[in-house]
Amino acid sequence: MTPRRAEHVAIGLMVSGAFLALAILFFIIAVIMIKGLPHITARFLLDNPMDMGRAGGIFSTIVSTVYLLVVSLVIAIPLGVGTAIYLTEYTEEGKITKIVRFGTECLAGVPSIILGLFGFILFVIKLGFGWSVLSGGISLAIMILPVIIRTSEEAIKSVPQAFRDVNEVLGGSKWQGVTRLVLPNAAPGILTGVILSVGRGIGETAVVIFTLGTSLRTPFSIFDSGRSMAVHFYILAREGISMDNAYATAAVLVFSILIINIFSYYLMHKFVEARR
């Protein structure tokens, strides 16, 4: 094969690979949207499920999902951003940072089913929280912690060193520098990470099913059980309860994930732009 031919073949291969991957993505989104969107009405979004989800809407599952995400973010953001601040501002690269980074990487690699098992045994059973928003929230927080740490670290690192130097020259303490200069400037980047982890949490099932439970009631207290949208979709589709409602739930899920991703991408873009 001449180099020119090889070049053509290679380019053809690469292009078709990328095309195939994109085609799969479009196929998934198209199927879910085409089959799901027609069943989404205001009532579907605002009514509670009835008859095991065969009739009615998905309101209680939306509430459960949002509640769960809020609880997990309340736990994961301080820990994640705190870790990132420590790694970038309060220590030199060395043994400790290496250990922390390794731990974070490993935590990111822990399969969600293991997290589910862990949350089930510790929070649901040992601590007696039962299947609840709290059990689910903490377990999910552990899952998204690595994402938040990583993105926050990137965001904080990208804040120009000059800001810190100026702070020091003006006699500000490190803490003042962090709270008044570094964090506000890194905020959009950190937010991107938070939004991305919301995207991960929203579609999670293995962790949630064992810790939040599957109750269709709208949770009020933090000790109430609930059913997230993803789990609701799983049950509807798996048990063949209602394919229409299953697709509609999936469409709401995929649509929110689309919005979340586009929004975070937009934020990231602005953030990078501002840094230039």
Partner 1 sequence: MSAADIKRKEKLIQRIFLVVAFSSLFSLFLIALFIFVEGLPMIWKVGLKDFLLSTRWSPTKGHFGIFAMIVSSFWVTIGALLFGGPLGLMCSIFLVEFSSARMRAVIKPALELLAGIPSVVYGFLGVVYLVPLVRDYLGGPGLSLLTSCIILGIMILPTVISISVDSLVAVPDSYREAAFSLGATRWQTTHMVTLHAAKSGIITALVLGMGRAVGETMAVIMIAGNALKIPLSPLDPIRTLTSNIALEMGYASGLHRQALFATGIVLFFFVMALNMIATLFARRKVLK
Partner 2 sequence: MNATGRKRIGLWSLLVVLTVLFGCGRKDESTPKKKGGYASIIIAGSTSVQPFAEKLAEIYMVKNPNTVVNVQGGGSTAGIRAAQTGIANIGTSSRNLHPEEKGLFEIPIAFDGIAVIVNPKNSLRNLSTETLRAIYAGKILSWETLTGVKHRITTITREEGSGTRGAFEELVMEKLEIDPGCIVQDSNGAVRELVATDPYAIGYISLGLVNKQVRAVALDGVAPSVKAVKEKRYRFFRPFLFLTRKKPAGLPLHFICFVLSDEGQRILAKEGLIPASIIHGESDLCRQQTSKEKKN
* Interaction of residue 35 with partner 2, rule CB under 8 A: no
Q: How far is the CB of 214 from partner 2 (least distance, A)?
A: 5
Compute the distance between CA of residue 15 and CA of residue 232 in angstroms, rounded to an integer: 38
Q: Is 43 or 128 the residue whose CB approaches partner 1 more closely?
A: 128
Within the chain, residue ranges assigned H as helices are 3-36, 42-46, 59-89, 95-109, 112-119, 133-157, 161-169, 174-176, 183-202, 206-211, 229-238, 243-275
**Quick one: what does residue 67 bind among partner 2, partner 1, none, with the CB cut-off 5 to 8 Å set by partner type?**
none
Q: How far is the CB of 28 from partner 2 (least distance, A)?
A: 20
Which residues, in sequence order, are CB contacts of 138 under 8 Å at separation 6+? 71, 72, 75, 119, 123, 211
Q: Is 71 or 198 the residue whose CB approaches partner 2 more closely?
A: 71
In this chain, which stretch among 62-70, 102-110, 122-130, 265-273 interacts with partner 2, using CB under 8 A? Answer: 122-130
**Quick one: what does residue 234 bind among partner 2, partner 1, none, with the CB cut-off 5 to 8 Å set by partner type?**
partner 1
Which residues, in sequence order, are CB contacts of 164 under 8 Å at separation 6+? 177, 181, 182
**Quick one: what does residue 233 bind among partner 1, partner 2, none, with the CB cut-off 5 to 8 Å set by partner type?**
partner 1
> What part of residues 200-219 is at the interface with partner 2 (CB under 8 A)?
213-217
* Interaction of residue 50 with partner 2, rule CB under 8 A: yes
Other CB atoms within 10 A of residue 26 CB = 10
* Interaction of residue 90 with partner 2, rule CB under 8 A: no
Other CB atoms within 10 A of residue 3 CB = 7
> What part of residues 235-274 is at the interface with partner 2 (CB under 8 A)?
238-241
Q: How far is the CB of 199 from partner 1 (least distance, A)?
A: 5
Q: How far is the CB of 235 from partner 2 (least distance, A)?
A: 8
Q: How far is the CB of 250 from partner 2 (least distance, A)?
A: 16
**223 DSSP 8-state letter:** T
Pick from 263, 258, 256: nearest CA to 188: 263
